[in-house]
Amino acid sequence: RKGIKFDNGEPFNAECVKFTIERGLDPKCPQRPTVSWIKEVKVIDDYTVRLITHTPYPVALERLANYQMLPVKWVKEKGVDFIATNANGTGPYRLKEWKRGVHIILEAKENYWKGAPAIKTIIYRPIKEIATQISELLTGGIDIVRDIPPDQIPLVENSGIARISKAPTLRVVYLLFDADGRAGKSPVQNLKVRQAISHAIDVDTIIKTVMTGNATKTAAVLNPQHFGYDKSLENPYPYNPEKARQLLKEANFPFDQPLRLVTYTGSIQNPRALIEAVAGYLAKVGIKTNVNVYTDIGMWDRLGREGKQNDMSIHSWGSGGVYDADALYYSYFRSGQAYCYGSSPEMDKWLDQARSTLDQNLRKKLYYQVGKYINDHALAVSFYAQHAILGINKRVIYEAPPDEFLRTFEAQLKE
């Protein structure tokens, strides 16, 4: 699009696209999986770039839509440390103030190419405790809470101050095993132990209780909305505590050794209730756990760069709005990827082939094979797909987005 400028006045052009993608291709860049399919970027003119790929890549457009561009001069002049705490974008708002741990204040751009936003100031506040978030929502201190725990929906709906807006999302929640032993030797490297844990957890009851039914059943980690979803793979290890105990006995499981079980706040609804439910089911078959709920973004460094998965982690993955199995399977089950803790040469072959052909029938078949492998080898326990559950002050006109991205420039205030 012609005439678009960054906050500092620098034009958004083809050189910015080339620079940003090449920066992302650096092996040290955590965003590399998003652009690793690109071999070369050529600038044709100020508004045209040609992308040369290693192979045909069927989800190229979806990936590009989820990759934010940078202004070349600004990055080179200011340096990495500066841009880590400052913003310079082309969107409807500019960063006015960021006080770490306190708030982020955005102010509207009157010259935004789509038109000035109706709401002129947006304030984001990080509030770790959900009880505090809801309290502020119901007293008018904040207008939108992103993830209302399902069991708190009646409280919000009956408040007279706020309302609930829901939408099915791509985000899936699941238990991931360190089957490859990246974080060190673990009992979960034994297939029978993973199968036992899979049988020990009553997923249907978790959906009914922890999520109060506000979730969708999943299969082989995928969301039913993902291309490549195979419904026949649902529930490969039905709840059967007796079978779980039998498998643990056959595996000579060390019952005196607690397994490390972790999760995190931020994108998982009701994470503490979920992890407590899982730990409770494991205790019923004799498995002790050391439970930890991380509340900081360092969780992703521990999982990715440091390879510290622990024995088991409860994850969520939103696929960045990409409705394709590649968005999840490649990140979590392709060897060499930051968050991969369960891999195999067979899956590597299938995943590489699926992201290098435009034959959708073949791609679907390959993803079905990956899903079956994940189930057969119990690399993860599929829980559910979350629904977006927003708590919204009744003065705000806005609805929950299915891709989880809060587009506040679309919001309005009632007159």
pLDDT of residue 308: 65
DSSP for 251-301, please give it.
Answer: TT--TTSPEEEEEESSSSSSHHHHHHHHHHHHHHTT--EEEEEE-STHHHH
Contact 388, 167 (CB under 8 A): yes
pLDDT digits (tens, 9 = 90+) for 343-361: 999 999 999 999 999 999 9
57 pLDDT higher than 90: yes
Best CATH choice for the domain 93-167+388-413 from the list 3.40.190.10, 1.10.10.10, 3.40.50.720, 2.60.120.260: 3.40.190.10
CATH code of the domain made up of 169-386: 3.10.105.10
Please determine, for residue 220, whether its predicted confidence score (pLDDT) is greater than 70. Answer: yes
Whether residue 297 is predicted with pLDDT greater than 80 in this model: the reply is: no
- C-alpha torsion 32→96→408→29, nearest 10: 0
Look at residue 307 in the predicted model and tell me its pLDDT.
Answer: 58
Is the pLDDT assigned to residue 144 strictly greater than 70? yes
Where along the chain do its domains lie?
14-82, 93-167+388-413, 169-386
CA distance readout (Å), 215 to 172, 218, 368, 386: 9, 9, 23, 5
| pLDDT score at 300 | 65
Tell me the average pLDDT across 227-243: 97
Whole-model pTM over 0.85: yes
**Answer CATH for 14-82 from 3.30.930.10, 3.20.20.70, 3.30.70.1140, 3.90.76.10:** 3.90.76.10
**pLDDT at residue 337 tops 90:** no
- Is there a contact between 314 and 322 (Cβ–Cβ < 8 Å)? no
DSSP-assigned beta bridge partners for residue 406: none
